[in-house]
Structure 1
């Protein structure tokens, strides 16, 4: 009986994969993405209704970005294609990112319909399959690579590290940025471990269980605090977070909060990649007071992650090797004694 159930489950998974592949073929085949559009080789600033990039390219004309077309040269990995990750993927796809690598092991459920992006007819599909199909239809110019697995297992973790190192726009080159959109500390620590070892810049994001606050954080190994430098209590106390969840109780989830966090995350990604504005190292969001706290955290010299400590030493050497800038001392203005205003203000 058990073997029959297992075979049925395997067959269901095979059919799901075949269905997703067929949908992908329809999305790419014929060139119109099943109601979408043909691929565009080069971004154009031409202001016509048929140009999907005209509003984006206008950022150059407005003096915000010097070279918007550069967006197509970047590869970004998104780990966790849930409430924040799926919207993040959609925004980057609409912005014309060069390549997206999506990692998740969960399936779409009707319980996810309170969020943005996923649709009821996708229930039962893996999140990465459903996301790829939708995103290809939105923008066929973007390259997609999807992985339906849990990055925290030993075997999958090694493959995850390999794709960070070699999954760039040009195969064999590293990707440009990793975005953490997961909902558990175990996965965050796995991303942190991989990025510290590889010296990979990444951004972390999260939404609270009561659904009314969230944050984003930029982590540059060696330069800023990593996720292990100042870990949450559940990590510092070595508690198995699975034991904290109560049966029949789930975290709250608002599409508004998820959308806000995804928006500030992608905004930070664009500023970081395209070099405009001020990139935030930490930006919080509290919906109850509409409060957006910001801060930057320096790395902990006694961090538990040895690769973080190693990256800190490398960063110190890099800073020490930079040419020193001589401080220019301004001469003090001489105030003459016969100046009536000088006597009045200096007495």
Structure 2
């Protein structure tokens, strides 16, 4: 049995250890605050194309300078809702943040686990935090100009679904305005159907994405209610990977996931988002990816008039009416006016500085290439100095030199 003095001594030791732990926590928190202050930057009111190392938007604004995007700064006026902040969703949110999107709404109910460390974005010290909380903390440090709104709940429950629809309708950059785009990065059928139902009812354009359970294929799909097939119009589209499906699901074995495949799908998704919002290039309605064969199938699918979702059928009727009321565009070919110089006293003529021979393709061989790929230049065939080719002979060098001496 311990005496009273021994117990008092033990209490003092524990108190001292507690004080030391508190001091260490204060030191850690102060160092973290100092690190955050050192890495954080003030908000930037206007994007600049000035090429300096301290400008986070100079490389993005170069797209405008090079004529790829008409007005890149418009990206700051858009709001995107990302549903599912997992392997694809977290990387998607990070890309949009680095691109300077105006506002991001993040929806997820899951927590960060050490089992998620095979994926991109999340770090081991964030284990135990909700994914939306961890994502917001990281993304806000990357770009404080972006406005973030997080919701840690399951959108498939009745109460949360109602709130989810409200935020899509009123959660824009200016409160009360709808979001510009909804991105589905979830990994289950029920959540996809919930997003599909909400977007059909609201007439909200959204993009769906997914990665297969074998981690070697994925896809993205643009869904415009009334115009294209919704998620309920047809069976879910997947990219065939030529793998026995019996090997995919086993008792006690979870689905596989590769950071490479998820990174590729996230990149394709955000690229499609940027093309859609900033209106450049060709927006893909459906784009698949098969890592086993490097196959990228692309297609577009019309809405199903017999879709069992009544809101989808209503959107189809409204879309048909709009198309009938829309005036048909008449293409008029503009005739180029011939430039006529009334006076030319000196007889000046414009001639090409390049001869017809130089305009002809180089004499080098051109490889047989698939459609859409061309060579940047060809290598001209080697020619002799005099333009004559010497025939091959079996005579030795000494015999040839002796013949030259006799000439």
Structures share a fold, TM > 0.5?
Answer: yes
Moved over 4 A (4+): 29-34, 244-247, 326-329
Instruction: Name the counterpart of 1:311.
Output: 315
Of 106, 109, 128 in structure 2, the residue corresponding to residue 105 of structure 1 is 109
Instruction: Name the counterpart of 2:327.
Output: 323
Contact 2:249–2:255 (Cα < 8 Å) also in 1: no
- By relative contact order (CA 8 Å, sep 6+), the higher-ranking structure is 1
Instruction: Name the counterpart of 2:200.
Output: 196
Call closer, same or farther: CA 1:129–1:245 in 2, change over 3 Å.
Answer: farther
Instruction: Name the counterpart of 2:182.
Output: 178
Contact 1:213–1:287 (Cα < 8 Å) also in 2: yes
Instruction: Name the counterpart of 1:115.
Output: 119
Distance 2:152 2:114 in 1: 19
Distance 2:119 2:38 in 1: 24
TM-score w.r.t. the length of structure 1 is 0.81
After TM superposition, list the pairs within 5 Å mapping 1:32-43 onto structure 2: 35-43=39-47
Q: 1:109-140 deviations in whole A, cap 9, x for unaligned?
A: 00000000000000000000000000000000
Distance 2:251 2:297 in 1: 34
Which segments of 5 or more consecutive residues in structure 2 lack a partner in the other structure?
Answer: 1-28, 238-247, 334-407
Secondary structure of the structure 1 residue equivalent to 2:118: coil
Distance 1:80 1:42 in 2: 30
Call closer, same or farther: CA 1:33–1:79 in 2, change over 3 Å.
Answer: farther
* RMSD, aligned α-carbons: 2.2
Instruction: Name the counterpart of 2:231.
Output: 227
Distance 1:33 1:148 in 2: 27
Q: Does 1:298 align with 2:302?
A: yes
Q: Does 1:141 align with 2:145?
A: yes
TM-score w.r.t. the length of structure 2 is 0.70
Contact 1:31–1:39 (Cα < 8 Å) also in 2: no
After TM superposition, list the pairs within 5 Å mapping 1:41-190 onto structure 2: 41-190=45-194
After TM superposition, list the pairs within 5 Å mapping 1:199-218 onto structure 2: 199-218=203-222
Of 254, 257, 262 in structure 2, the residue corresponding to residue 258 of structure 1 is 262
Larger radius of gyration: 2
Which segments of 5 or more consecutive residues in structure 1 lack a partner in the other structure?
Answer: 1-22, 234-243, 330-347
Contact 1:151–1:187 (Cα < 8 Å) also in 2: yes
Q: 1:62-103 deviations in whole A, cap 9, x for unaligned?
A: 100010000000000000000000000000000000000000
Q: Return the offset for 1:250.
A: 0.4
Contact 1:34–1:137 (Cα < 8 Å) also in 2: no
Secondary structure of the structure 2 residue equivalent to 1:300: coil
Distance 2:69 2:75 in 1: 11
Secondary structure of the structure 2 residue equivalent to 1:256: helix
Of 267, 273, 287 in structure 1, the residue corresponding to residue 271 of structure 2 is 267
Contact 2:286–2:299 (Cα < 8 Å) also in 1: yes
Distance 1:142 1:324 in 2: 40
Call closer, same or farther: CA 1:313–1:31 in 2, change over 3 Å.
Answer: farther
Call closer, same or farther: CA 1:113–1:315 in 2, change over 3 Å.
Answer: same
Contact 1:31–1:37 (Cα < 8 Å) also in 2: no
Contact 1:203–1:219 (Cα < 8 Å) also in 2: yes
Call closer, same or farther: CA 1:157–1:30 in 2, change over 3 Å.
Answer: farther
Distance 2:315 2:88 in 1: 29
Distance 2:169 2:297 in 1: 33
Distance 1:287 1:306 in 2: 37
Q: 1:29-73 deviations in whole A, cap 9, x for unaligned?
A: 999656221111110111111100000000001100010000000
